[in-house]
Amino acid sequence: MSENKSAMPLKREHMPTDYRISLDSYIGRNGTGGGFTEQEKRIPEDFGPEQSMLGFEDTYRNIIDYIVRITYKIWEDREVEYIGDTYSDTSRVYDDYGLQLGSRKIISDTHHTTGAFSNIQLIADEIVWAGNDDVGYHTSHRTIIRGTNDGDSKYGPATNKDVDIMVIANCVALENEIFLEHVLYNNSSLLQQLGLDLNDVAAEMAASPPAGWPRDAQTWSDLRNAARPAQPLSISSPVSGFDVDAFARSNFDRLWNKRDYAVLGEAYAGNFRFHGPTGRTLAGVKPYAEFLRSLSGAFPDIRLQVDEVYWMGNDVDGYLTSERWSGTATHAGDGIYGRATGCEVQVWGITQHHISDGRIIGEWMLFNELDLMMQIMAHRG
């Protein structure tokens, strides 16, 4: 393929209504949405039911099989050059720092990372998917990265410390090639686990920034609008009963934009658990509300939008969702990121939810926290 492609927004008919093709089914886990268990076999003998995969290599039986096995082959079998077969020559990857263009850049970055972590593992924790081989397969791949920093990296000399961090990569693939990706690495947590000071590294990186940073206005616009529907599905294609799109967007707007924390008692389960950036693991809605207040205190005018929502599941078995979101805000409050600087920042993130009986029981969320700190540090000068 390897030509410029634009990701087509998904429609309701593109959302899987069961878990026949899912990571839980593929691995043979008990239940839905629980994530990785240490005893599981990561690459099964049976690759699952066949799915239409026009243009994909014959070896892949469905989109879950494709995502799991190309990741393993590239990172753990160390066939890094295989990226050239699974990412288009014109791929666009939006990461923590900006826009990375083309498969050769991804190959170079992967060689760098495997050199810094010679025993690295990328473990599939969850994959939310939607689409088909006509509009493209959209996948939200939540991954656990583990390894020992036994080589020099862009963050400095080897520390010989072990790391265990979360990554969420939202990809769009057609004909065996990923041509669009929004990926967030939990870099702030990575730096902490390497024993580095977040503020010091953010200041150093702002003074000598990586490629693509800071984002220009066009990159920021493209990041936000890629695969975004002209109207939310809850407006353009309303349904009766429980609507995942309406549920996700309403909760997001009430929590982030309206500071209406009453929604936590309405839409979140009492045993709700949150996994977020920089080592944040929270149990219950009260500490989650405190986390949200800490962010709104630092950015009192924060205004975020949901850029894309897709999901899999049904009312009986529950839903797994992926929500990509973005916005701007002014660092006008003291607190979580130090003294207020008054600078305007770009914020974007990816959230996955596990919904059961109409309530959120689990949330996994990453946003560009290290990049956010770099923006603040650059303003401080």
pLDDT per residue over 26-71, tens digit each? 999 998 999 999 999 999 999 999 999 999 999 999 999 999 999 9
Q: Does the pLDDT at position 3 exceed 60?
A: no
Distance of alpha carbon 130 from alpha carbon 243, whole angstroms: 16
Show Cβ contacts of residue 99 under 8 Å, excluding neighbours closer than 6 positions: 92, 93, 212, 215, 219, 222, 223
Chain Cα centroid distance, residue 80:
22
Task: Quote the CA–CA distance of 244 and 232 in Å, as a whole number.
Answer: 11
pLDDT at 4: 65
What is the predicted pLDDT for the residue at 299? 98
Q: How far apart are CA 326 and CA 303, in angstroms?
A: 9
* Arithmetic mean of pLDDT, 173-189: 97
Mean pLDDT to the nearest integer, 291-302 = 97
* Angle subtended at Cα 169 by Cα 177 and Cα 215, rounded to the nearest 5 degrees: 95
Give pLDDT, residue 2. 46
